[in-house]
Amino acid sequence: MPFGKVRPGALKNRKFDGMKKSDLKMLPRFMGDEGGKFFTVQFRCSERPKAHIVFVPPFGEEMNRCRALVAEQARNFAASGYACTLIDFYGSGDSQGELYDASLQIWQENIRRTIEELQREESLPVVLWGLRLGAFIALDFAAKSGVAIDSIVLWQPVVSGARYVTQILRQRVAALAGKNLAPETTAQIREKLAAGERVEISGYTVGGVLMDDVESLSLAGMTALCSGKIHWLENVSEPGEALTGATLKAIEQLKSLQNEVQVHPFTGPQVWQLHKRDALPELISITSSLLP
């Protein structure tokens, strides 16, 4: 389901803090230059918003699995008085281009262009909100772009670009084995990408530039990313369960680089991994309470 479509009945007779569904607006549009246009949709209330929230999406099928959840959170942000803009990166979703032609530089420019357009229309504080790989990309953008970011909201962030790429490549390894096709190792897939070949992984054809870009993502040097807090929301199987060692290490590294990180564990299904749609009411509830 694209961001621009709302599940039938989702807003029927629903009110947010006294706000009617007629007070919420959904504004789809394309940004960017001809040949490189990317799709966005903004959820907002009828009043002047408190801030711009810009959503940085996850990679591939994880985005499709989370679209309904993301749209629900965007409506909640709008009902709380924010203008929340969701991006389909170039080469994905309803945007122009092909995924194999995408790069991290192009995607970072999509974020920058979105913020610049929004700020030209209404000069407001900017909040970045990212999911999975999008959360890591949001941190990288805040570190390198020079754009003033007020706060950052991270949903289940990827903490290692190299490890994430390996996980993606293993999906191809498993798919080939499941179809009784000639096997490949992750090293062989990397060689193909490095040689300029396009590789299909879980229905998406990717190129080596994007995979190299993602693999190079690192928390090193991410100093003072925003003027407020980084809200880190992490899934745990049950209340009180400790976070994984890799997650704790990443959080401590961000804190050591002068970032204020507030951790918010939540329970529920890992929607980004599920083929069937599911709800995460605790995640929605916590996230909706983070910003004033």
Q: Is residue 16 part of a domain?
A: no
* Nearest alpha-carbon partner for 130 in 101, 158, 164, 170: 158
Residue 45 located in a structural domain: yes
pLDDT of residue 23: 80
Residue 11 domain-assigned (yes or no): no
- Its domain, for residue 176, covers 161-216
Contact predicate 265/236, CB 8 Å: yes
- Same domain? For 262 and 208 the reply is no
Determine the residue type at 211.
M
The CA angle 44-151-248, to the nearest 5 degrees, is 125
pLDDT in tens, 41-67: 999 998 999 999 999 999 999 999 999
Domain membership flag for residue 114? yes
How many Å apart are CA 160 and CA 279, to the nearest integer?
27
pLDDT tens-digit profile of 238-261? 999 999 999 999 999 999 999 999
- The answer to whether residues 52 and 135 belong to one domain is yes
Say which amino acid occupies 252. Answer: E
- Check whether residue 149 and residue 243 sit in a common domain: yes
Same domain, 186 and 112: no
**CA pair distance 44, 180, nearest whole angstrom:** 49
Of 83 and 23, more confident: 83
- At 104-146, the pLDDT tens digits run 999 999 999 999 999 999 999 999 999 999 999 999 999 999 9
Residue 6, pLDDT score: 34
Total structural domains in the chain? Answer: 2
Q: What is the pLDDT of residues 201-250, one digit of tens each?
A: 989 999 999 999 999 999 999 999 999 999 999 999 999 999 999 999 99
For residue 283, give the CATH number of its domain.
3.40.50.1820
Residue 238 sits in the same domain as residue 212: no
33 within domain boundaries: yes
Does 73 share its domain with 192? no
Using left for φ > 0, alpha for ψ between -120 and 50, and beta otherwise, residue 36 falls in alpha
In one letter, which amino acid is 188?
Answer: Q
Same domain for 264 and 229: yes
Quick count: other Cβ atoms within 10 Å of Cβ 72?
20
Query: pLDDT band at 17, cuts 50/70/90?
Result: very low
Cβ 138 vs Cβ 217: under 8 Å:
no
